[in-house]
């Protein structure tokens, strides 16, 4: 496998992930920088609060698809599907895309928390576990009306689905699923404090 091509794919993945969907949608169609309003986060939830569902839905879809597309760059490499090398490349490209979403080069490295992009990566690699975790998110959201709580519980459920439902033997995928949960908790540390103090805003 040519290292140069891997490096190029990594750069493409970062640039894909860096697409600041919420920022561009807000500025182009509404004349508003969502990072200057609401929670200041450049993600779907803040876009929903500031601009409404009409803006938030396409932002969510594009943020999912850009990371999904990055993980699918693996098809340009001579690897058998679902083998360790294949999955490792998917993880590499997908994780780089998520990093791009969190630290986008186009808008001063101030992006979102990466939840939607992480969903895109997992849909590309372990779609069943991703959909199960997303179902957990929807259920928690409908019950609690807290997006952050739904995201964190769904994230913590993801490694359970990967390890015990998918029963994958690929160690890197198992490790990724655990780091996935940890990353969501870390990026939501402020939400955890607000939930603890009863100051977190509900989506509805």
CB 152 within 8 A of CB 120: no
Query: What is the C-alpha separation between 30 and 87, in angstroms, rounded?
Result: 40
Q: Per-domain residue ranges for the chain?
A: 1-112, 126-204
Interior CA angle at 36 toward 34 and 39, to 5°?
75
Mean pLDDT of 28-44: 91
Query: What is the C-alpha separation between 99 and 192, in angstroms, rounded?
Result: 22
Please report the pLDDT score of residue 142 as a whole number: 95
- With 80 as the cut, is the pLDDT of residue 2 above it? no
Q: What is the pLDDT of residues 124-138, one digit of tens each?
A: 999 999 999 999 999
Burial of 79 (0-12, 13-18, 19+ CB in 10 A): middle
Give the pLDDT band (50/70/90) at residue 1.
low
pTM of the model: 0.89
């Amino acid at each position: 496998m040519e290292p140069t091509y891997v490096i190029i794919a990594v750069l493409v993945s970062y640039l894909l992930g860096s697409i600041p969907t919420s920022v561009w949608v807000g500025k182009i169609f509404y004349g508003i920088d969502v990072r200057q309003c609401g929670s200041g986060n450049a993600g779907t939830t803040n876009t929903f609060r500031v601009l409404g569902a009409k803006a938030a839905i396409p932002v969510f879809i594009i943020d999912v698809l850009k990371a999904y597309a990055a993980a699918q760059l693996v098809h340009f490499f001579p690897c058998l599907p679902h083998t360790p090398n294949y999955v490792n490349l998917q993880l590499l490209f997908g994780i780089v895309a998520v990093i791009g979403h969190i630290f986008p080069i186009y808008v001063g490295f101030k992006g979102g928390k990466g939840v939607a992009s992480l969903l895109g990566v997992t849909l590309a690699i372990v779609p069943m576990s991703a959909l199960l975790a997303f179902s957990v998110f929807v259920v928690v959201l409908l019950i609690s009306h807290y997006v952050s709580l739904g995201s964190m519980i769904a994230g913590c459920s993801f490694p359970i689905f990967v390890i015990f439902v998918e029963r994958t033997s690929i160690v890197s995928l198992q490790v990724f699923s655990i780091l996935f949960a940890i990353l969501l908790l870390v990026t939501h540390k402020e939400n955890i404090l607000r939930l603890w103090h009863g100051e977190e805003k509900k989506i509805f």
